[in-house]
Amino acid sequence: MSAPAKTVAGKVPATVITGFLGAGKTTLIRGLLEKAEGRRLALIINEFGDVGIDGDILRACGSPTCTEDDVIELANGCLCCTVADDFVPAIEKLLARPQPPEHIVIETSGLALPKPLVQAFHWPAIKSRVTVDGVIAVVDAAAAAEGRFAPDPAALAAQRDAAGTVDHETPVEEVFEDQLLCADLIVVNKTDLVDAADLARVEDLIREALGHAAGRAIGSGAKLVRASQGSVDPLVLLGVGAAVEDDLANRPSHHDDEEGHDHDDFTSFVVELPSQPDPAALVKTLEDVAALHGVLRLKGFIDVPGKPMRLLVQGVGIRVQSHYDRLWKPGEERRSRLVVIGETGLDREAVTAAVVG
Ligand SMILES: Nc1nc2c(ncn2[C@@H]2O[C@H](COP(=O)(O)OP(=O)(O)OP(=O)(O)O)[C@@H](O)[C@H]2O)c(=O)[nH]1
């Protein structure tokens, strides 16, 4: 990674990484850090749940370009709703460093709408010094192929009104589309989990979503790039030069006519567990719980008695994985807890009881 990203009038470029829950944003950023080759990157991570997991995963990556100070976590909340209190001060602190970052990478929560966040770059304190180089949307190709972001054709036909239009999108579909519509580059990730026919279908679905908004021709807007484990050349990711903050009119959103936005459609809670002697049994339980209750995302660290490393558990829909990510630190409390995210109405008591057993 040698060539610098294009900058606009000496401003520090910032890249916004969006994408639905579990699409692979943190994985992509981790790959970016590994290939940063000494370039000073700073990360701002925003998560939906009360407990920040992604920042902890990234700090555990051991990359010299990723020290404690380089990862700023803004947990619990939507960045665009906490602009004045959290986001602007975080950027200002980064810029005030003796050696300011050469590029700022912002990972939004999987439920965030990117457009209001980009609007925050109009704040006077930021606008003169930072430009949004590009918005990158990461898509989970397997989840998209399974129809998680679009109703099945029969349901669509049933909803179609006399004029042939459908205006009842689920909250998940709306978030998914808003993220795509704001993007300069769409990373079609997890290609290892789909075959060629499904991949082609997913790319059609994305192009259709891009053309969905009024006035947009199908296929206009963002470029698509395929990836596994979010592996994309950093020069492609960090050199878009789009000055997105000045191009918002070309990025339609489902929420353009709204004064603000709320977060009523989704919910999250933390489940505290006892230590888990049998990780495989835990994964099986979590898969069953996710399927039964419609959990969208699960993640956290688990204590396995007798193991010096902590177990990272990651669930995306009904797919749950685990691996040991780093040693427990001396004096660190070996706590087991999982952040659970779902649509509003997710039965917290039932999920907790089923997970804790
Ligand atoms: N098979 C496969 N798994 C992947 C790939 N990319 C990411 N994953 C896995 O998907 C899960 C979620 O990945 P993350 O990178 O944490 O996703 P995220 O978008 O940051 O998640 P949120 O921040 O919670 O929205 C993890 O278990 C990853 O290991 C991929 O290309 N293929």
Residues 107, 192: one domain?
yes
Q: How many structural domains comprise the chain?
A: 2
In a domain, 3, yes or no: no
Residues 6+ apart with CB under 8 A from 52: 45, 73, 75
Task: CATH number of the domain at 240, please.
Answer: 3.40.50.300
Q: What is the pLDDT, as a whole number, of residue 219?
A: 43
* Unique residue bearing structure tokens 């590029």: 103
Residues 241, 271: one domain?
no
- Among the listed residues 286, 285, 302, 309, the one whose alpha carbon sits nearest the alpha carbon of residue 336: 302
Counting beta carbons within 10 angstroms of the beta carbon of residue 228, is it exposed (0 to 12), middle (13 to 18) or buried (19 or more)? middle
Nearest C-alpha to atom 5 of ligand 1 is from which residue? Answer: 229
Residues 245, 319: one domain?
no
Angle at which helix 279-293 crosses helix 348-356, to 10 degrees, equals 160
Residues 168, 315: one domain?
no
ipTM entry: 0.99
Of 208, 224, 250, which marks where a domain is finished? Answer: 250
Residues 89, 169: one domain?
yes
* Unique residue bearing structure tokens 């990723």: 66
Domain with 30, as residue range(s), is 12-250
What tens digit of pLDDT does each residue of 55-79 get?
788 777 766 666 667 788 886 667 7
Ligand 1 binding pocket (C-beta < 6 A) is 19, 21-27, 54, 110, 189-190, 192-193, 228-230, 297, 299, 314, 316, 321
The token duo for 144 is 């998209």
**β-strands 309-316, 319-327: how paired?**
antiparallel
DSSP code for 313? E
Residues 71, 215: one domain?
yes
The percent of residues above 70 in pLDDT, for the chain, comes to 84
Of 16, 17, 27, the residue with max ligand 1 atoms within 8 A of its CB, to mutate for a pocket test, comes to 27
In a domain, 72, yes or no: yes
Are the C-beta atoms of 187 and 168 separated by less than 8 Å?
no
In a domain, 109, yes or no: yes
pLDDT above 60 (res 155): no
Residues 284, 237: one domain?
no
Q: What is the pLDDT, as a whole number, of residue 214?
A: 44
Q: What is the pLDDT, as a whole number, of residue 6?
A: 46
DSSP three-state, residue 13: strand
pLDDT above 80 (res 11): yes
In a domain, 260, yes or no: no
DSSP code for 221? S
* Nearest ligand 1 atom, CA 29: 15
Determine the average pLDDT of the residues in 239-251: 91
Task: Tell me the CA–centroid distance for residue 324 and ligand 1, in Å.
Answer: 15
Of 216, 250, 284, which marks where a domain is finished? Answer: 250
Nearest C-alpha to atom 6 of ligand 1 is from which residue? Answer: 229
Are the C-beta atoms of 314 and 288 separated by less than 8 Å?
no
How does residue 53 score in pLDDT terms, banded at 50, 70 and 90?
A: confident
* Nearest ligand 1 atom, CA 193: 1
* Nearest ligand 1 atom, CA 341: 24
Residues 211, 273: one domain?
no
Task: Tell me the CA–centroid distance for residue 31 and ligand 1, in Å.
Answer: 12
**Across the chain, what does the average pLDDT equal?**
86
Residues 195, 125: one domain?
yes
Residues 324, 213: one domain?
no
Residues 210, 321: one domain?
no
In a domain, 150, yes or no: yes
Are the C-beta atoms of 24 and 188 separated by less than 8 Å?
no
In a domain, 2, yes or no: no
Task: Tell me the CA–centroid distance for residue 350 and ligand 1, in Å.
Answer: 26
Of 199, 219, 250, which marks where a domain is finished? Answer: 250
Residues 202, 321: one domain?
no
Nearest C-alpha to atom 7 of ligand 1 is from which residue? Answer: 24
Are the C-beta atoms of 295 and 315 separated by less than 8 Å?
yes
In a domain, 258, yes or no: no
Q: How far apart are CA 171 and CA 177, in angstroms?
A: 10
In a domain, 140, yes or no: yes
